[in-house]
Structure 1
Amino acid sequence: MKTSVKTLLRVVVLIAIAISLLLIIDKTSQKDSEGKLQLVLIQYNDSPLSELSQSGIEDGLSQIGLKAGKDYDLTVNNAQGDMATLNLMIDAVAGSKPDLIFVTSTPTLQVAANKIKDIPVVFSVVADPIVAGAGTSFTEHLPNVTGISTLGDYEGMVKWIVLIRPGTIKIGTIYSPAEANSVKNMSELKKYSELAGIELVTVPVNSTTEVTDAALSLIESRPEIVCQIVDNLTSSSIASIIKVCQSNKVPMFGFVSDQSKKGAVLVVSRDYHQAGVDAVNLAKKIFDGAKPADIPFEFVSKTNILINLKAAAQYGIVFPDELLKREGVIISE
């Protein structure tokens, strides 16, 4: 029965992809007569990161003077976290020959870099494009690829931990071994933690159904703070991690802006909406005639620090004026 359900779901997905491909091909065929750019956005899964980036892309297109439906058509495809679907989706999009493809997340970039060679690809919400296989450096990369890196500010986070809770000796995080970006982010947090004399305890997780148990396992190691890194899996299950932290009176610090509203005490977040805007600014260079090969990768241009005073009070955390008065800090009561 389970096999039959999976088969049925796969058939439904294939039908959806086929319909999407036909729509893209139809739109592409209209390009010569209507003069509209045909753009595609491919996402790996539904998460706050992909949603913020998508809104940034849409706002960015408006900011450069393009109007949806008049100057461009944007087709959005989401693989719902399934790699087989992602591969089929990218094959379909590549065959439709749009003018440019936006991709979000490391898994999506990895597949696109492997399969798409003759269509401009602009990425965002990718921690390390080099690890993803898009190049050997920010200036030496695949000729059809450019984009925006959103590698978290792990050095900055450790700095704030030391300032806010001096004497901290152990923090913890959950990571996804199957995601190259997750392993990279975990390694970065580990590097800067160790430099500050802080031990990082890690627990691997392979599916969303394992997140709660992983969080409980992490708490058993008695970290003073759960400092949750960014990846696709944990970002889509962050509510479960925060719930476990709150139940066990362990403060959670994070790296995605919406986590502050959900109960994270401190968030040092790359601005994923801005990453979408920044990606469009690179795309505009391509629209204006530049080759992706000549456009270096860039880091996202904006980082936000968010403080949840109500959550902090639950753990007796008091923020120093150095942080509270810092320009750009967003404070919620």
Structure 2
Amino acid sequence: MRKISFLFIIALALFGCETKKDTTNIAIVSIVEIDPIKQLRDGFMNTLKNSEHYDSTQIRFTEFNAQGEEVLISQIVDQIITARPELVYVLGTPISQAIQKRDSSIVIVQGAVTDPIAAGLADAWKGSGRNYAANSDLPPVNRQLALIRDMFPDAKKLGVLYNVGETNSVAIVNRLRNKTEEFSFNLIERSANNSAEIPSAVESLIGNVDALYIPPDNTIHSNMRVVGKVCNENKIPLFTTTSETVGFGATAVMGMDFYKLGEEAGTIAVKILFENVNPGEIPIAFSEKPQVLINKNALSQFSLDSSELRTKWNYDLVE
């Protein structure tokens, strides 16, 4: 609470004071502090700072972090509505939903949204039709399942751990349900609505799955140390969508470069702020080339043949 209170004071100082006409205020709101969100934020801010408009227009950033708390999300949204910055860069679907519900005139650029249509934030992928633009971290589910199948050809039961309250995760799990049979997997679902529920949820999968998949889920990714520990101790192959999870024991990662996604969002913001592009007409952007990372330690742990994998996948070996 102390951190948010301090941010409110800073926000009031920046937004509440009299500013020059050429000052552009941008609020950056993160739902939690995890590595992908940090990368998104850094890519976004650096793109704006390196733009030709940065010095001439006095771009001012004000950062908020909700720490995954609904009460703090509400407080931050109150501050955004009062301050009315020229643009809000949002990292977390519940925050975009809350702002849109309260004041649809606020211009939002969301970074790494999974499915803005399912979340009720946009009317179509070709353009939101609202004061909302975004790029997507929608993972290539078909390719992810193919990677799991190629690495573990005898696996039959694929677990998925997610928070049913996160629309991004639900959208991915819906896609998994439609695709797992095609890859000869039986999908075993477990949900955890908060950090306290994660240990028991992941432990319930021991002996019941041959591999575990984690979708883009802020709740689960905030607790990957716990998930990775259980998986490694019980030799459960762990597949994720963010690179930093290798350090927590992920077997392999197929996902996006979040720094580049942040840069793309920065470019979208420049178009809206300085080129008079209507946010509702900007197509939801996709990253075409997901990166594949394989944990070097997993090769020996699961007796995987790296040379055979090379014939099918272009990947980086990390540890």
TM-score (norm 2): 0.92
Matches within 5 A, 1:1-333: 15-16=5-6, 18-26=8-16, 29-32=18-21, 35-67=22-54, 71-221=58-208, 223-286=209-272, 287-321=274-308, 323=310, 326-327=313-314, 329-332=315-318
After TM superposition, the structure 1 stretch with the greater mean CA deviation from structure 2, 120-129 or 308-317, is: 308-317
* d(CA) in 2 for partners of 1:214, 1:163: 27
Instruction: Say if 2:240 and 2:253, in contact at 8 Å, map to a contact too.
Output: yes
Describe the superposition over 1:264-297 as per-residue Cα deviations: whole angstroms up to 9, x where unpaired. Answer: 1110012211111111111111121111122121
Contact in 2 for aligned 1:306/1:330 (Cα 8 Å):
yes
- What is the identity percentage for the equivalent residue pairs of Structure 1 and Structure 2? 25
Secondary structure of 2:165's counterpart equals: coil
8 Å CA contact retained: 1:24, 1:96 = no
Paired letter, 2:37: S
Alpha-carbon distance in structure 1 between the residues aligned to 2:50 and 2:140: 27
Conservation of the 8 A alpha-carbon contact between 1:242 and 1:264: yes
Structure 1: distance between partners of 2:304 and 2:265: 37
The Cα shift of 1:13 comes to: 7.2
Q: How many residues align?
A: 318
Give the partner amino acid of 1:198.
F
Asked whether the equivalents of residues 48 and 235 of structure 1 are also in contact (C-alpha less than 8 Å), the reply is no
Give 1:320 deviation, angstroms. 4.6
TM-score by length of 1: 0.88
Instruction: Determine the C-alpha separation between the residues in 2 that align with 1:206 and 1:70.
Output: 43
Q: Distance in 1 between matches of 2:307 and 2:93?
A: 36
Report SS of the residue matched to 2:89.
Answer: strand
Provide, for residues 182-206 of structure 1, a one-character-per-residue CA deviation record: whole Å limited to 9, x for no partner. Answer: 2112222232212212111111111
Deviations 1:124-160 (A, max 9, x none): 1211111221122113424211111111222111111
> How far, CA to CA, are the matches of 1:104 and 1:270 in structure 2?
15
Which residue identity lines up with residue 110 of structure 1 in the other structure?
Answer: Q
CA contact 2:122–2:130 (8 Å) conserved in 1: no
Please tell me the root mean square deviation across aligned C-alpha atoms, in Å.
Answer: 2.2
Whole-Å Cα distance in 2 between the matches of residues 22 and 164 of structure 1?
A: 53
Q: Distance in 2 between the 1:192 and 1:309 partners?
A: 28
Q: Secondary structure at the match of 2:121?
A: coil
Structure 1 runs (4+) greater than 3 angstroms displaced: 12-18, 65-71, 319-327
| Higher mean C-alpha displacement, 294-303 vs 236-245 | 294-303
Q: Aligned partners of 1:189 and 1:276: how far apart in 2? A: 26
Provide the C-alpha distance between the structure 2 equivalents of 1:113 and 1:70, rounded to a whole number of angstroms.
Answer: 26
For the 8 Å contact 1:171–1:199, the answer to whether it is kept is: yes
Contact 1:53-1:276 at 8 Å conserved across structures: yes
Q: Which amino acid aligns with 1:247?
A: E
Indicate conservation of the 8 Å contact 2:7/2:63, yes or no: no
* Structure 1: unaligned runs, 5 residues or longer: 1-8
- For the structure 1 residues 261 and 194, does the alpha-carbon distance in structure 2 shift closer, same or farther, using more than 3 Å as the test? same
Q: Distance in 2 between matches of 1:189 and 1:252?
A: 16
